[in-house]
Each structure stands twice: as structure tokens, then as C-alpha cells.
Amino acid sequence: RVPAMAESFNIIFDASDVDDLKARIRQRRTFQRQSCDPWRQGCEEKPLDDLLNYWEKEYDFHAHAARFNQFHHYRHAVMAPSPVDEELNIHYIHETSTAPTTIPLLLVHGWPGSVVEFCQLIPELVSDKDGKAFDVVAPSLPGYGFSDAPTKEGLNIELVADMLNDLMQSLGYKQYVIQGGDWGGILARAMGVRHPTTCVGLHANFCVAVAPAPTSLRNAWTLARFLATFLVLSLAGSQADKAKLKDMRKFFKEETAYQMIQATKPQTLGVALNDSPAGLAAWFLEKFNSWGDTRTTAVLNTFDKDILCTNLTVYWLTRSITSSMRMYYESLGVAQDKQLHLAKDYCSVPTGISNFPREIIRPTQSLAKLTYNLVDWVEHEQGGHFAALEQPKLLEEDVRQFFFDRTEFVELCKQAGKQRARPWDWVDYSWAVVLIAVIINL
């Protein structure tokens, strides 16, 4: 299933680049301390120093490059759609299974992660368990790691979805399923909205229940339902639902400054992070601490230091931090003349969601049903934003349960694209009756 134009690819951590990296870490300057609670103002000095010292003195670059190369890596030219109109070489890991029953799975990372996140998950997904497994394609998003970055503006997450659909088609997977978190979860939704006949099933551990724009009567009705549901949950929802809404409000108030700068001035920030490994590590480590499940364990105990260093090394040696942040610039609609690109229409593709308690955005199930064809909804007691690193076993079990037990791939392929809009439920009919009664009385 490797297309003729794809090239086999080996990960190399160049020795001279590694020496330069270590020298920069040694020559880092200490930052000004101020008395405050740990992590209150951002990255904490002690764990950052521990990680940097480990990266410089103990992390085995050669061994971890070799470990990474145990996977089959390729690069394949894919055309970026208009307005970019540029051919980009996309890096991807492609692992196939010998199990009798296999399902092609597109596995997509986010920021500040990379395909490194899936080093534990991929072997489990391709493993033959009860005769069932996945053929996994795990790409590096354009501008991330070993994938090319566009030289022109315009490549938003919806267009990246088009590119990855083209990649799957070129690999011979005419129909497939997708799993993702962070940008991967957003891209999965975009794939379901834009390519429901080829991407026939969707699983995410990052659920973005985005209300549609009122571009049609049905979308306007869904938007009204969305807002009404949000209001009702805020006033009379369960304690669990209220807690989720409270956590989301807290996140948007206290934890989204990074989004704003990356969505408006990624190049300014990129100069600093591309030039300082200490700055890059601080920018990332603060996110792993804030977004991971660090309620009972410190961040460097929650996450394996070797994995954190490999992820940092990929960003550093490929100099891709600036281009990775441009995904925010192109997709969030914050910068001047940029529109929001989060595939806001109803996603008709059968969807399974894994909910981890320390995820940064956790919509309620009732909100998710308004924008997804929700088939499976699993709540966990541990884990955070980086589920593939924090709880790989739970995530694997959820993915297998959804695609092998809750749904059937053959049936998903037959039904693909047939359900175009969200079906009405009793709430829709009740609201419609009330609205008609009010109009008649007027």
C-alpha cells in the first residue's frame, strides 16, 4: 500500500545539530524569580531545569532516533488546495497488521505534540487481538516535524483535512476511519464534515462541539438549540455537566493567551522559540503541566522524560515551531482577514468520544449530540489532554471498542454519506410546537 511516489524515510538526529543544541542549553540564562505559587505565572524553574539538564546530559539522541526508526516512515507529495496550490511532502508512519480483520485508521496528532505521542499506541493498535487490528497511518501535519511547511498563507485545518484524505486515497484506502486529539480531533471533525463518504467513522479524545453558522434554516435551528441547551445546563444541569461548563469557562479565561499570540503573531514568538531550546522547552512544559492530569503527580512523573525530549528534539532539529503555530493563525479566525475554520456544520459520520477528566475543553454529551452523530461516549476517571501518552491503554481500548464493537466497518462503508443532517429529536418537535403555538396566538 505504499504509492510509487512515496519515499522511505529515516529519522536522523544530526550530530552537529545535537552538539549545537547542547551548547545552547548549557549557555542558557536564568530567569528572574518572583515569589508566587508554583506554575501561577507560567513554567516553573525547577522542573524546567531538570528537563533541560536531562535533555543535555542524559538523553540518548542516537538510541531514541533508532527507537523512532523501528516504525516505517515515509514522505509523500500531496498537493495543498487553493489558495496555497503548493505540493508538500507529508511525513507519515505507516504500520500494517497481519490480523485477519483490519480497519485502516488515520491517527492524527496536535500541538504541542507530534507523531512521537503515538510511539506506545501504534504497536498496540496494529497488534492482532482476537483476530482484529488496525492498519495505522500517522502523519505529521503540514509544518510539523518532518512534513514540509507551505511557503504561502492559507493552509487552514479544513484544507489539511482535504490533503490527508488525498493521502489516504493514494495509499489505497478508499474508505477509512480516523482518531485524533487536539488539532487531530478538530481535523477528524473536519474530515467527517467534508469527506463523509471516505472517512466513515470518527473517534476523538478532544471533542469540539462548535455551533453552526445560521446559513440555513436547519443550521439556525441547531444554533438556537445549542444556545438554549447551554443556558439550561448552566442553570439546571447535573453537577457533572455544570462542572464541565465551569472548567471550560476557566480555560477560556485563564489558558488561551497562547492561542491569541499564535493566532496573530506566530513569527514573532517563533524567533524566540526557534533560537532558544530553554524557551521552547518552557513553552511546551507549561502546557504539559496545565493540560495533563497532574493532580496527584508532578509533570515529569506524569510524562516520560525521554518522550518529552524526543518531542522537543523533533521540533528543534526540524526548526518547525514557527510553522506549527501557523495552524492557529490560519484556522482560528483571530488575525485580520482570517476566518474561523473549524468545520461548524453537523458531522454526520458516526462518532465515538473518549472523555478524560483533565481535558482542556469538555462539552457535555447533550451539546456534543447537537453537532456530532454521537454513537459512543465514554467517561474516564484519569487522564488529560495527551491521552495517547497519559492513558494509552484506555485510549486503545476505547478505539477498539468503538470500531469493532459499537460499529461495524463494512456497515459504516455502506452507509457512508447517507445521513446528511442532524435528525430531529423530541426536543426539536417540542420547541417547534411551542413556536407554532406562539405564532398562531400572535
Q: Spell out where 140-278 has E strands.
A: 176-180, 199-204
Is the CB of residue 139 less than 8 Å from the CB of residue 114?
no
Q: Spell out where 162-278 has E strands.
A: 176-180, 199-204
Q: Spell out where 272-360 has E strands.
A: 347-355
Positions marked catalytic: 182, 328, 385
User: Is residue 57 packed enough to be buried (19+ CB in 10 Å), middle (13-18) or exposed (0-12)?
Assistant: exposed
Per-residue b or e along 252-270, where b marks 16 or more CB atoms closer than 10 Å to that residue's CB: eeeeeebeebbbbebeebb
Q: Cell triple for residue 321?
A: 515551531
Is the CB of residue 154 less than 8 Å from the CB of residue 84?
yes
Using CA atoms, how far apart are residues 117 and 184, in angstroms rounded to an integer?
A: 12
382: left (phi over 0), alpha (psi -120 to 50) or beta: beta
Using CA atoms, how far apart are residues 283 and 256, in angstroms rounded to an integer?
A: 13
What are the φ/ψ torsions at residue 88 (nearest 5 degrees)?
Answer: -120, 135
Using CA atoms, how far apart are residues 218 and 227, in angstroms rounded to an integer?
A: 14
Sequence-ordered list of residues with C-beta below 8 angstroms from that of 128, at least 6 positions apart, any chain:
97, 98, 99, 100
Return the closest-CA partner of residue 154 out of 143, 169, 146: 143
How far apart are the two ends of the chain, measured CA to CA in Å? 64
Return the closest-CA partner of residue 327 out of 79, 158, 84, 195: 158
Place of cell 516535524: 145
Beta bridge partners of 129: 132
Is the CB of residue 86 less than 8 Å from the CB of residue 152?
yes
